[in-house]
Amino acid sequence: MRLLVVEDETQLADALSEILKRNRYNVDTVYNGIDGLDNALTGVYDCIVLDIMLPGMNGIEVLRSLRSEKVNTPVILLTAKSEVEDKINGLDCGADDYLTKPFVTGELLARVRALTRRKGEIIDENNLDYNGLSLNKNTCSVLWQGSDVKLSLKEYQIMELLISNPRQILPKERIIEKIWGYESDVEYNNIEVYISFLRKKLASISAPVQIKTARGIGYSLE
């Protein structure tokens, strides 16, 4: 899953991004409202952590522009204690949640999880399940009837995307945007390599699913 952190206090921004990355999210970090809006408008994010007081354009303006462009990515606002008015304003403008600084990181992670729940059945917060096949975040592995196989980080991220959107064709372009970012120079054949690793690993535990190729478009989990 891909997250955007928009926060001008660089130390806080970098600390947040580090924590989120450790929890296997892909994170882009920007330090002002204008870059925040630019990035957010791409629509590739699963959740945006948006500070209110920002140079360039404040968080409320970013949020308002996003919603007026029909980008409905969940947004968590970060507010200072003194910004109660802004908080109310933010919720009125379509924020999904807010956190008052200072906050503990566990709380941020819980809010992000709550806003990024996916269609894949979630057994607990560390497992995504489809057809009895389970993807575990803590161990970075897939499990089927007592057999499991470890995945590399990229394999995990691709599998997470597939298992969260079962039976849907995911275009290669979308996979790249989600996992490597929309400015990356990763090529389609890089994905093909990861998909072939994943297929071998799924086969090695006789998983009851297949990654199908939609020719010229992308992949789906069936």
- Interface residues with Ca ion (CB under 5 A) are 8, 51, 53
Q: State the nearest-atom distance from the C-beta of 13 to Ca ion, in Å.
A: 9
Q: Report the b/e string of 191-211 with b at 16+ CB within 10 A.
A: beebbeebbebbeebebebeb
The smaller minimum CB distance to Ca ion, of residues 35 and 51, is found at 51
> Which residue in the shown chain puts its C-beta closest to Ca ion?
53
The smaller minimum CB distance to Ca ion, of residues 6 and 158, is found at 6
Q: State the nearest-atom distance from the C-beta of 58 to Ca ion, in Å.
A: 9
Q: State the nearest-atom distance from the C-beta of 82 to Ca ion, in Å.
A: 12
Q: State the nearest-atom distance from the C-beta of 137 to Ca ion, in Å.
A: 30
The smaller minimum CB distance to Ca ion, of residues 70 and 81, is found at 81
Cβ neighbours for 143, distance < 8 A, ≥ 6 positions apart? 133, 134, 135, 136, 205
Which position has the token pair 């090529």? 187
Q: Phi and psi at residue 40, in whole multiples of 5°?
A: -65, -35
Amino acid at 165: N
Cα dihedral across residues 132, 137, 142, 143: positive or negative: negative
Q: State the nearest-atom distance from the C-beta of 100 to Ca ion, in Å.
A: 13
The smaller minimum CB distance to Ca ion, of residues 20 and 77, is found at 77
The smaller minimum CB distance to Ca ion, of residues 58 and 134, is found at 58
Q: Phi and psi at residue 169, in whole multiples of 5°?
A: -75, 125
